[in-house]
């Protein structure tokens, strides 16, 4: 029952943050928050880290995202492990948020930008964080199961 409230909340947080970035920060503008973290406005036309940017049409990426999301939903429905289900659920939230963003704009808005000296991590968004946390939860769960056996 909690998830019926958490899903729209997580998707809303992602989409509203992207709305503010899109409307209040110029494209490629960087706002320094700390010496290692900036808020920026980047349009990601590719997949993770901008891979395949400009080579795969947006509609194809949306369709691939939907197919993968349906598969993750299938895994979620058929999982009986609590931690695995939460991990899959959070992945679904992030995937849906990015699919909505790409469907509206034709790209995904990335805006969280970490760097140390001349080392830069590609910009990302809250949906990407959700997906990463979900994957980490599933990996931790798998390691715990392996260690038990």
Q: Identify the pLDDT of residue 1.
A: 66
Q: Which of 14, 38, 101, 110 is catalytic?
A: 110
Asked if 22 and 41 count as a contact pair (C-beta separation under 8 A), the reply is yes
pLDDT in tens, 107-147: 999 999 999 988 999 999 999 999 999 999 999 999 999 99
**Any catalytic annotation for residue 110?**
yes
**Any catalytic annotation for residue 128?**
yes
Q: Identify the pLDDT of residue 39.
A: 98
Domain count, the chain: 1
pLDDT in tens, 53-92: 889 999 999 999 999 999 999 999 999 999 999 999 999 9
Summary mean pLDDT of the chain: 96
Q: Identify the pLDDT of residue 52.
A: 84
Q: Which of 14, 38, 101, 128 is catalytic?
A: 128
3-state SS, residue 90: helix
3-state SS, residue 25: coil
Contact partners, residue 115, CB within 8 Å, separation at least 6:
36, 37, 38, 121
Cα 118 to its chain centre, rounded Å, is 25
pLDDT in tens, 29-57: 999 999 999 999 999 999 887 888 889 99
Residue numbers of the domain that contains 74: 3-148
């Amino acid at each position: 029952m909690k998830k019926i409230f958490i899903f729209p909340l997580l998707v809303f947080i992602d989409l509203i943050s992207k709305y503010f970035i899109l409307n209040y920060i110029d494209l490629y503008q960087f706002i320094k928050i700390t010496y290692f973290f900036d808020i920026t406005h980047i349009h990601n036309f590719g997949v993770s880290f901008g891979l395949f940017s400009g080579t795969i049409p947006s509609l194809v990426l949306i369709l691939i995202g939907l197919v993968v999301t349906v598969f993750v939903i299938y895994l979620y429905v058929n999982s009986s492990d609590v931690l695995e289900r939460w991990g899959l659920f959070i992945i679904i939230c992030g995937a849906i948020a990015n699919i909505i963003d790409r469907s509206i704009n034709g790209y995904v808005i990335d805006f969280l930008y970490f760097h140390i000296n001349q080392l830069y991590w590609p910009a990302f968004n809250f949906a990407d964080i959700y997906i990463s946390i979900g994957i980490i939860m599933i990996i931790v769960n798998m390691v715990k199961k392996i260690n038990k056996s």
